[in-house]
Amino acid sequence: MNEQRIEVKVSPPGGRLDRIIASSIAEVSRNRLQKLIRAGRLLVDGEVVIKPAYALEGGEIISLVIPAVRDSSIKSEPIPLNIVFENADILVINKNPGIVVHPSPGHASGTIVNAVLAHAPEIQGVGGERRPGIVHRLDKGTSGILVVAKNDASHQFLQAQFMNRSVHKTYIALVDGIPKTRVGLIEAGIGRSRRDRKKMAVLPPGQGREAISQYATLEQFTAHTLLQIQPLTGRTHQIRVHLAFIHAPVVGDRVYGKRKPSVPIKRQFLHASAIELLVPGEESTQTFRAPLPKDLEDVLSMLRSITS
């Protein structure tokens, strides 16, 4: 996108600055506009305003310069992608385990973002330079459905659905042990662990961020249970932390579960099997699915043979 210079006259009764300007520039995400405001790139009647929530009364003249998107330091890499669905607005991927979603310390390359930039270069800069197109994440060891926005408008549209919790995600997990009930709801706030800041943990009531997960038993073995989980909120490591909290940690999860896997597996048994959301431009929701990968199916076949 080239540099844009925009001037808007505010109609009565006014309102929040970021909302007024966002309604005038639909192709740029509200999140990016807020960053531009805080960076001092917006004038109200000739005066710099850096508060996105600044109250307008109507009649003011807003002037904004949207700089051209800078070239990202993230490089494209021809990494194969398992594409489930694609149109001009979104890309739905069946993520393989062992690959990180976006560059981070220790993972400067070889990520989903690097692969997506090679497949769809127009995603560069969408929603920010560090995580172009990313609206949600999966852990490195988790496989399954991942949705990527291909432009700012769809990025904003998808982010809004995640924020208002209208996106429905379904995961499959094999856990060590047997939960006390075949169906359950876990409501336990999550935050940084006080013992290890690299980990998340369930915190005492009133602390941490609200986190809710519901689960149902799909299959039960002698010492393991196959669960279907639907996270109703989207906290970091939520499913793994919640299942460990009810003493049914994900098999192969060396961070929150057993250090040595109880079955022959090289990663955590956690798979994002489906996601239901509204695709930009559509009137009804769509569900995208990813079958259980072979390595996880092999584990289940082994357990079934032992149980029978």
CATH class, range 168-307: alpha beta
Of 268, 178, 182, 171, the residue nearest 228 (C-alpha):
171
CATH architecture of 4-66: Roll (3.10)
pTM: 0.77
* Residue 284 in this model has a pLDDT that exceeds 70: yes
* Environment class of 297 (CB within 10 Å of its CB; exposed 0-12, middle 13-18, buried 19+): exposed
| Choices 3.40.710.10, 3.40.640.10, 3.30.2350.10, 3.40.190.10: CATH for 83-163 | 3.30.2350.10
Task: Give the Cα separation of 157 and 280 in Å (integer).
Answer: 7
Tokens of 256: 């929150």
Choice among 139, 152, 176, 253 that is catalytic: 139
Question: By mean pLDDT, which of 95-99, 124-128, 200-204, 287-291 is the weakest?
Answer: 124-128
Q: Is 89 a catalytic residue?
A: no
Same fold, 4-66 and 168-307: no
> Percentage of the chain surpassing pLDDT 90?
63
Mean pLDDT of all residues in the chain?
Answer: 90
pLDDT tens string 199-248: 999 999 888 889 999 999 999 999 999 999 999 999 999 999 999 999 99
For the chain, the structural domain boundaries read: 4-66, 83-163, 168-307
Of 234, 246, 229, the residue nearest 139 (C-alpha):
234
pLDDT tens string 84-107: 999 999 999 999 999 999 887 777
Question: By mean pLDDT, which of 121-135, 246-260, 285-299 is the weakest?
Answer: 121-135
